[in-house]
Structure 1
Amino acid sequence: MASHFQTPFRLNVNKLKMSRVGVIGAGGAGLCAARHLLAAGLKPQVWEATCGLGGTWRHSTRTGTDQYGLPIFSSMYNNLRTNLPKEVMAFPDFPFPSEDDTSFVHHTTVSDYLTRYATHFNLFPHIKTDHHVQKVAPTPNSGSGNTDGLPRWAITVRDLKQHITTTDVYDAVVICNGHYSKPSIPSLPGVEEYQGRQMHSHDYREPKPFTGETVLVLGAGASGIDIAIELCSVAKQVYLSHNQKSNIASDLPKNLHQVKGATEATRDGFILTDGRRVQADAIIYCTGYEYSFSFLCESCGIRVRRGQVTPLYRHIHNALLPSMAFIGIPVQICPFPFFDTQVRYVTKVLTGEVSLPSPEDMEATTQQEFHRHMKEGHAPEDFHLMSSTQWEYMKELTDAAGEKPLPSVIKTLFTDVRKIRNNNLLTYKQAKYRFTGPETYEVVQ
């Protein structure tokens, strides 16, 4: 976790005072950032490379590259419904419309919800779509009238429609580009000899092309399970290949078979970790995604190694140059409430209402957290994985920022649904929930 970057700038992070803030990405995190920065009197400018807002929730039927030659961002497939009820997914200050008749909504409902959010808080004047951020670099603070000792951020953006590239300087930058767009694909020995089709879940859109086939789905995370179950409606059989400690306990379709993880490919199939061989017409890699910040210059000091973005204080602030913040780096979280909590904290930092430790202390704290993570027996690549620890983390942020904590019912319903989902994968989305108070909910019949 030690950084190889030494900042040439003299920082005085206890006197952060910002005005212009660049926000990269107009998905849930970027919209939330714009909403709270505006409310605090700051001037956000949001850039979005696609033609509309929504981020990962903006579905595209295309795969590969878009009309500008950029990689398709969204991983949404046609029939995807949320695996969390909308009641816990909503931003704390903007509930989903009450007329929705289900809790586990289609992805288009979430996309529409984000558009309503942007409209309600008048964010559109601050968003430039079809604008691709190409370069972010710290630049010495000169002539800006500010004396906080922090660098400013030179941000180079390409207007994809007009074919114009410009560079402007901002007091701070908030990075909200998500991490579900760059596929992580394992290297299986012998895969070059495999004659079947290969696809990452990022490019999966519908089951129809797999009709009558035998498909191996590699990985039993949320997307792997959802896709495997959907494939069973048309496929001859589906192998859900994973190395989890135990098999999934839920009832599954009769033509879905859980097998060990694939460790090697053959001409017509795969060899599993237990030595078993299976034949398959296709493999779908549901093996996750990689963090990617190709627009960050070396001088930003951010490194991505083995699933870790470092050095980030509280998984948010660049410990070396703390006027750079990242929203939504952790995984296995309750997304929109989590983004909202992080953004409220960052906003208080950028307005000077919340002080940060020195860069040296922030980096040391991050290293200590990583060493504790390793000492507890966790894998390095799971450093940003939170799951049940997200609630304590969010409380620490709200306490530090002097903000109101999330209602406890969000944690309660989130936790209860996860238990129900694990044991009822085929039926759990039929339930409908309703909050009855800040601490309680009910199942709607």
Structure 2
Amino acid sequence: MAFADFPFDSSLPSFITHTEMLEYIEQFGRHFDLLKYIQFNTMVESVRPVKPSGDTQSVTWEVKVRDVENRESGGPVTSHYDAVMVCNGHYALPKIPDMDELDTFSGQILHSHNYRHPETFKDQSILIVGAGSSGMDIAVDLSPHAKQVVISHWKPRFKTPLPSNVKEVQAIKSVGKTEVEFLDGCKDTFDSIVFCSGYDYDFSFLHPDCLVDVSDGRITPLYKHLIHQIFPSLCFMGISKRFCPYPHFNAQALFFLAALDGSVKLPTEKEMHEDEAKEFQIRLDEGLPHRYAHDMGDRQWEYNSNLLSFIGAVQHKPVIEKLYHQVMRCRTKNILIYRKMKFKVVDNDKFVQL
């Protein structure tokens, strides 16, 4: 999904490659002359609040950075800022289940984070652990090259057809030197295991004084999954999971900027904490596990709308949500062909499938 004020090139297919997505982002930066404001190849080593007389509302931020291309040229550079937006994503610290038996496996073990080329696994028997987006996509990507691909997961059986050499089994019970046993009693031998088991958040650059807690996939204390309740000049962009990225980022950025420039007044710290606790309790009451604290899914549209309404901003076009749901339905129905489909937005409310 494109930024609202910068549509994709009409010549592109509906499902673009990562290379085309990168080019789109670079075009966006050039079009709005943003590149001059960005300091590339820079690693943030530390972010720390500087509090005048204990006033958490008017802190400044001490940020230490280092040039990654010239690591030996000197120490970190320290600067001070009025606000900090943490936008480091959450797909860089792979999470692999703690299984002692993995040490006995003689084949290759890797995380989807390190998966690059399917040809590397030619004629192998591959076990995919996890059936989220990465697990499903990698399984399909491997199928023309691998001998067989087995997807181990705990979800209901897929509705989509799969390649003839791809099958699904239950979760892992035990792992041996080459053999893996599953909870349903099935056993099979594998050359490689690919864990598609998600990622952990990584805020190792935040000083303890930032008062950010990460526990079992939940980041606190955040108002609207975004703004630090104690230090409202600190925000965390895009920590949510399962959402349409750019409309989500757009709503969050506009909301935070409106709070920064005083266009809107945030609730009190106590009110923000109560709002966070209430929203989290709703998830628990629905039976969702603790780690789903920032999961969006169908919630994302009301969430985006509420943020934009709060600041009086223009709402996203209804066609975005409609098209998103249609693509999800097509993917669920047939993961093998949905990327070949073509869609065209007709107006703010309608789209057609070509």
Same fold (TM over 0.5): yes
Q: CA deviation at 1:357?
A: 1.2
Q: CA deviation at 1:161?
A: 2.7
Structure 2 counterparts to residues 43-58 of structure 1, below 5 A: none
Q: What's 1:40 paired with?
A: none
Query: Structure 1, residues 59-101: CA drift from partner, whole Å, max 9, x if none?
Result: xxxxxxxxxxxxxxxxxxxxxxxxxxxxxx101111111121x
Q: CA deviation at 1:372?
A: 2.1
Q: Which of 93, 96, 99 is residue 8 of structure 2 equivalent to?
A: 96
Query: Structure 1, residues 254-297: CA drift from partner, whole Å, max 9, x if none?
Result: 00011111232111121212232221111000111111111001
Structure 2 counterparts to residues 222-241 of structure 1, below 5 A: 222-241=133-152
- Where structure 1 has 5 or more consecutive residues not aligned to the other structure, the ranges are 1-88
For residues 56 and 194 of structure 2, what CA distance do their matches in structure 1 show? Answer: 51
Q: What's 1:196 paired with?
A: 107
Q: What's 2:160 paired with?
A: 250
Q: CA deviation at 1:149?
A: 4.5
For residues 244 and 266 of structure 2, what CA distance do their matches in structure 1 show? Answer: 25
For residues 50 and 228 of structure 2, what CA distance do their matches in structure 1 show? Answer: 15
Q: What's 1:176 paired with?
A: 87
Q: What's 1:115 paired with?
A: 26
For residues 19 and 92 of structure 2, what CA distance do their matches in structure 1 show? Answer: 18
SS, match of residue 96 in structure 1 = coil
Determine if the alignment matches structure 1 residue 366 to structure 2 residue 276. Answer: yes
For residues 269 and 299 of structure 1, what CA distance do their matches in structure 2 show? Answer: 48
User: Residues 189 and 264 of structure 1 are in contact (CA less than 8 Å); yes or no, is this contact kept in structure 2?
Assistant: no
For residues 214 and 141 of structure 1, what CA distance do their matches in structure 2 show? Answer: 61
In structure 1, what residue type is equivalent to 2:118? P
Q: Which of 28, 31, 41 is residue 130 of structure 1 equivalent to?
A: 41
For residues 209 and 332 of structure 2, what CA distance do their matches in structure 1 show? Answer: 44
- Where structure 2 has 5 or more consecutive residues not aligned to the other structure, the ranges are none
Where relative contact order (Cα < 8 A, 6+ residues apart) is larger, the structure is 1
Structure 2 counterparts to residues 224-303 of structure 1, below 5 A: 224-244=135-155, 246-303=156-213
Aligned CA RMSD, in angstroms, stands at 1.3
User: Residues 283 and 293 of structure 2 are in contact (CA less than 8 Å); yes or no, is this contact kept in structure 1?
Assistant: yes
For residues 437 and 234 of structure 1, what CA distance do their matches in structure 2 show? Answer: 42
For residues 97 and 166 of structure 1, what CA distance do their matches in structure 2 show? Answer: 39
For residues 313 and 20 of structure 2, what CA distance do their matches in structure 1 show? Answer: 29
Q: What's 1:316 paired with?
A: 226
User: Residues 57 and 232 of structure 2 are in contact (CA less than 8 Å); yes or no, is this contact kept in structure 1?
Assistant: no
Determine if the alignment matches structure 1 residue 332 to structure 2 residue 236. Answer: no
In structure 2, what residue type is equivalent to 1:154? E
For residues 14 and 323 of structure 2, what CA distance do their matches in structure 1 show? Answer: 12
Q: CA deviation at 1:428?
A: 0.6
More helix by share: 2
For residues 273 and 187 of structure 1, what CA distance do their matches in structure 2 show? Answer: 17
Q: What's 1:426 paired with?
A: 336
For residues 279 and 31 of structure 2, what CA distance do their matches in structure 1 show? Answer: 39
Q: CA deviation at 1:141?
A: 3.7
Q: What's 1:388 paired with?
A: 298
Query: Structure 1, residues 212-271: CA drift from partner, whole Å, max 9, x if none?
Result: 110000001111001001111111111011110x21111110000111112321111212
For residues 149 and 231 of structure 1, what CA distance do their matches in structure 2 show? Answer: 52
User: Residues 320 and 363 of structure 1 are in contact (CA less than 8 Å); yes or no, is this contact kept in structure 2?
Assistant: no
For residues 309 and 148 of structure 1, what CA distance do their matches in structure 2 show? Answer: 19
Q: 1:404 to 1:190 in 2, by over 3 A?
A: same
Q: CA deviation at 1:121?
A: 1.1
SS, match of residue 190 in structure 1 = helix
In structure 2, what residue type is equivalent to 1:331? K
User: Residues 247 and 304 of structure 2 are in contact (CA less than 8 Å); yes or no, is this contact kept in structure 1?
Assistant: no
For residues 374 and 263 of structure 1, what CA distance do their matches in structure 2 show? Answer: 28
User: Residues 189 and 265 of structure 1 are in contact (CA less than 8 Å); yes or no, is this contact kept in structure 2?
Assistant: no
Q: CA deviation at 1:148?
A: 9.1
In structure 1, what residue type is equivalent to 2:346? T
In structure 2, what residue type is equivalent to 1:180? Y
Determine if the alignment matches structure 1 residue 185 to structure 2 residue 93. Answer: no
Q: What's 2:67 paired with?
A: 159
In structure 2, what residue type is equivalent to 1:284? V
4+ runs of 1 displaced by more than 6 Å?
A: none
User: Residues 57 and 231 of structure 2 are in contact (CA less than 8 Å); yes or no, is this contact kept in structure 1?
Assistant: no
* Count of residues paired in the alignment: 350
